[in-house]
Amino acid sequence: MRHLLATLALLLLAVTAYADVTIEDVSWGLRQAPKIAIRPGVFQAITEWNQTPARKLPAVPRVSIMLINNGGTVEGLVLRYAVSAKVANIKDPAQKADWGLPFWMSEHRVPYLKAGQKLQLTIEDLRLFTSLSDMYRAGFWPTALKIEIMVKPRLGDPIPRGVSEKAMPVVWTKAAP
């Protein structure tokens, strides 16, 4: 009976600790095209992306996230995220742009987070090459990109959990062809 109570107490502490993980900061940045090897720390933070509507992209945005664990040690943390775009017509950019449904949703796993630890994560696989290419072929291009991120709740976590989001304007640097 004591073992059962001890196990239940540990599970309760693990659930409580998991609820104390927060997303402190979300930022957009650029990296070089995928043909170039990525070195750690190669991340140029940006507030807007200057990109002409085009089939080929010289640089691809990625996202940096700062996690903070204000509780005890956490194992098996899962971040869920969705990427969407505010799209406009390439031939008539003066038309009102509108947010579309997310074109990419995925998860990022963090196996271990110590008590009081801050962790900087970078999400590079946003499938932007494919999605932007599809938009371009359809005659549209984003005027902004948005990512929404949340810590996947576990049993016993307080609901609702906050969803962090960060939008980045896309500036069309030249006239579209």
Q: Which residue has the higher pLDDT, 107 or 173?
A: 107
> How many whole angstroms separate alpha carbon 177 and alpha carbon 91?
8
Domains and CATH numbers, the chain: 2-171 (2.60.40.10)
**pLDDT beyond 50 at 51:** yes
Mean pLDDT of 45-73: 87
HSE-up of 53 (CA within 13 Å, CB side)? 21
HSE-up of 93 (CA within 13 Å, CB side)? 15
Give the pLDDT score at 172.
85
Burial class (CB in 10 A: 0-12, 13-18, 19+), 67: buried
**pLDDT beyond 90 at 169:** yes
> How many whole angstroms separate alpha carbon 31 and alpha carbon 36?
9
State the pLDDT confidence band at 6, using cuts at 50, 70 and 90.
very low
Give pTM, 2 decimals.
Answer: 0.79
> How many whole angstroms separate alpha carbon 63 and alpha carbon 26?
7
Give the pLDDT score at 11.
44
Mean pLDDT of 63-91: 91
Q: Tell me the pLDDT tens digit for each residue of 100-129.
A: 889 999 999 999 999 999 999 988 878 888
State the pLDDT confidence band at 54, using cuts at 50, 70 and 90.
confident
Q: Tell me the pLDDT tens digit for each residue of 19-42.
A: 588 899 999 988 654 555 555 556
